[in-house]
Structure 1
Amino acid sequence: MRRFGYIAMLLAAPGLAQPTVNAASPYITPGQDEPGYRAWVIADPSRPTAVAAYYAFLSGRGVAGIVPTWQLLRTATDWQKCAAEPFDVPPPEQWPHIVETLDYVRAHVVPVIGPVEPVSVYRNPALNACAGGAKESAHAQLYAMDLVPLRPIQRGAMVRSLCAIHLWRGTGFDVGLGFYKGLRFHVDSKKFRKWGGDGKGESSPCAAMVAELDAAAAPQVASGTPISPTIPPVDPLAPKP
């Protein structure tokens, strides 16, 4: 019973408050905001068609609207330093990779910390190398998203909630969970693992939780019904097919 009460406390994500405007803006570089996207998408006549095709794919796989499609096109935070584009439509052959990641975000991330905004998703090989990403980076293969909560939340509360759900649900989705500075965190569906700011598993803030929680608590959490977020039927920034 003590463990169950502790689990409930972790998943309750203490510290949440009402949504505020532009909560993710400190983590977004100039040019990767909504006006920057609108300018980028009209700068090349092929882009609206490509974005519409990507949106149609996500819709067909049942994962459109979890986050706005245009935010899924954000590249690396260092895009300017690397003389790259702020947005990019990933190669179609990689589109299936993001489906399970989005499904995990909808089923298990949003219910415990609230809505999130992607601040970095796909990085083409050249940009990934320039930005310091590993050769086999999950971002370069479209498995990964760096996310920021849209509701005010203390870092400690966010970490506890995400570590808890990663421990109990992450294996089923092959989830990688990483934490960076402030409220920025990484989720992918390439391989089950965790790490901290230096990229090493030993530095993950989840390590302390593993010492306290074990598999005996998992069935109790798994028996609950996740809170399903409201998914808007239409992406207002997705070009029409």
Structure 2
Amino acid sequence: MKVDKKLLPFIIISVLHLVSLAGGFVLIGMVTKPILIPSLLFYFLKTTPDSPLNRYISIALFFSFLGDTLLMFAERNSIFFLTGLISFLLAHMVYIVVSMSAKSVYEKGIKPQWQDIPFLLYGLLMFSAIKDGLGDMYFPALAYTVIICLMAIMARKRWKKSDNQSFWLVMIGASFFVVSDSILAVNRFLGEFEMSNLAIMTTYLLAQFLLVEGYKRFVEKLS
């Protein structure tokens, strides 16, 4: 498969960052983490036709960049973890808006369906597993759990309302985001485990790329 040259910066920076986590190269990790999402945004903007959706996806990536940067300092002060959480909460909300956009293609509103139940059950089980260790983070974590599940649900609701390629890229990306956030929650509130940061960032980077690529394919179909 031919890789677009404009995607190479994101690939190279991602590999360097994951190697830094696996090998314990702290300085490389600190240098690469803040530029992961900007390099993905560069790829998106340079390869995607103009569309009203582009602005929203750019905003989602900006909040993701902000969250990445704030979480770098989470061990120094819990306020950085909270503000990082809020940044990703806003990013997920924008992704929800993107999935509800293009009214000529999507149904208006959020219609409950039985297919939503697995996502709701997963969110309930995950929150139940971590709730005893949340402390002051109880309500922020609850709000985040609701939003991340809603983001995945809205990705699923694109089924048969967009082309298959775009649907599956976004759906798998949303699923990886849920997995990444679940690992982060377990690591933060239940106890750290070996190579947790590598697992978090691997699934996170896959999630962001697949979401961006899926929405990119959707915009291209509209052009």
Normalising by structure 2, what TM-score? Answer: 0.28
Higher strand share: 1
Higher helix share: 2
- Bigger relative contact order, structure 1 or 2, given CA contacts below 8 A and separation 6+? 1
Normalising by structure 1, what TM-score? Answer: 0.27
